[in-house]
Chain A
């Protein structure tokens, strides 16, 4: 179940081992949270964008499918908008609007976290799950305070925190995990990648080489076991029978499925773990508003989150400005129509960047949290949840196995999704041989 990278990796592995595999997918496309916006100029990414140099499975899937990878175009320097006031990158340390004190003033808001992660107790990619690290399973705010971060510094870190919907509800272990991954990626001194024609080409290529079948527009709503057989039912009442099942879905999607054999404890885990709220507004930029003195990309501590410029692929083509809104700031846009949300955000961008007035049109609004098949961008772990729920969430129910990014140990994101699919495929293979 699920034709995201986790489900596709599992399906491919099993099929190569001689197992008959059917993939059921609720949407009309593969890829799940990989979602290239092919309809927009420059095909920007609406979902996963960065492929790390050590993403072995993702890179192999691309290479074996002739999907070309390249390093993303650089988008130049980032300016800061603090409490509505613009600060140029060079002026940050001395700006009156910089709320930091002492030597910390020299640290740009997007560098603060790096400073907190410098002495990282995590040494391996899976140490975040190591019970010996449980002392770091506390709110990021408390940890930062213990390092001597001022309230102002903590609130800058909180403004664009991607690993929780509030800083108190974000386990420090999540950030230490990210820090460990960044440090390794830096040490590797290799570039990051994206698929040249969009990351969607990667799941598409796995699907194309998969000789089993993928059924689209099948929303599974119920799973039950009858003897050794597993019966899956979709919203239309259509049933599918099999010897084993891999549920490669994000937790918010899993919550909507009745799974007869699931224990109270496991159901609690499925319900309790939240997903990060992300809304992206993709604006088309007709011609540059930026210049040598004015950055294209901006980091704000306000409701617009971060503004990432993706340069146009060819001269004369539209560039893309992705407004990446996260956490509770997504809530106000959830109630609006897509057009209204897009225009609201575009007007707010023009208010802080008057130079861009008249140059922007709204391309696309992606509200991951409101997407019933995703429910957010990725699992976020509150203090106390990793120890209680992580193992439980991948405990098989007989021949029902669980996969998906939230069950991966060593790798995050796309690579984690494929790692988890591989693990679940091997687990199920043992019961099918």
Chain B
């Protein structure tokens, strides 16, 4: 039977678009890389690191991130960076987070994303997906760029 191609013009175009570089140069590089690493690729393919915006895909179902946007199951995260915890208006936080006395510094956000329930026992954000530490750092930059204040 005739095989169906899922991706007729595979990754190159996509890579170029994302990198925002000249297509021909990057295509050539990509082909060389692809040939050299084919065997290794099969068992442990190269893993890129997600940008902050890409990592936010793991949060977007529960959090909006725009000034004045409606809350989802979690609060709108606009301006959360540098702010005291549990301050979004019209959002019913867990008593545990409301009483935690935290400020969303980089360190605290890092710990929260890595293990919110362990950080604030009795809190209500159930999130356990394997974001990598450097991805979480980019994610925090991304949050900071959306209405963040002071902080550090």
Contacts and interface: CB of A to CB of B under 8 A. Distances in A.
Interface string A118-130: 0000011110000
Contacts of A17: 54, 57
B42 A398 contact: yes
A240 interface: yes
B124 interface: yes
Contact of A18 (B18, B34, B73): B18
Nearest to B131: A426
Given A17-B57, A184-B124, A59 B38 contact: no
Contacts of A188: 94, 124
A401 to B, nearest CB: 11
Interface string A228-241: 10010000111111
A134 B72 CA distance: 35
Interface residues of B, number: 46
B130 A423 contact: yes
Among A19, A187, A228, residue most surrounded by chain B Cβ atoms (within 10 Å): A228
B130 A427 contact: yes
A244 B62 CA distance: 27
A422 B58 contact: yes
B129 A426 contact: yes
Contacts, number: 132
A19 B129 CA distance: 21
Interface stretch (A50-58, A250-258, A292-300): A50-58
B25 to A, nearest CB: 18
A59 B74 CA distance: 11
Contact of B41 (A22, A123, A184, A398): A398
Interface in A102-146: 123-126
A144 B7 CA distance: 54
Contacts of A432: 11, 14
Given A22-B6, A411-B126, A430-B47, A56 B62 contact: yes
Interface in A1-35: 13, 16-22
A63 B69 CA distance: 14
A40 interface: no
Nearest to B74: A56
Interface string B3-22: 11111001100110110000
B152 interface: no
A267 interface: no
Nearest to A418: B61
B107 to A, nearest CB: 20
A419 interface: yes
Q: Is the interface of B mostly helix, strand, loop or mixed?
A: loop
A227 interface: yes
A397 B3 CA distance: 22
B11 A123 contact: no
B42 A239 contact: no
Interface in B28-69: 34, 38, 41-50, 54-55, 57-58, 61-62
Nearest to B8: A20
B45 A433 contact: no
Contact of B18 (A53, A242, A427, A433): A433
B117 A18 contact: no
Contacts of A124: 115, 117-118, 121
B4 A238 contact: yes
Contacts of A418: 61
A228 B34 contact: yes
A126 B116 CA distance: 11
B91 interface: no
B6 A20 contact: yes
Interface string A417-431: 011001101110111
Contacts of A63: 72
Contacts of A426: 50, 54-55, 57-58, 129-131
Contacts of B94: 187-188
A242 B6 contact: yes
B18 to A, nearest CB: 7
A427 B117 CA distance: 23
B149 interface: no
Given A124-B115, A426-B54, 10 more contacts: A18-B14, A228-B34, A228-B41, A236-B1, A240-B4, A241-B6, A398-B43, A398-B44, A409-B128, A430-B48
Closest 4 CB pairs of A and B: A56-B73, A56-B62, A124-B117, A433-B48
5 contacts: A243-B10, A422-B58, A423-B130, A426-B131, A427-B130
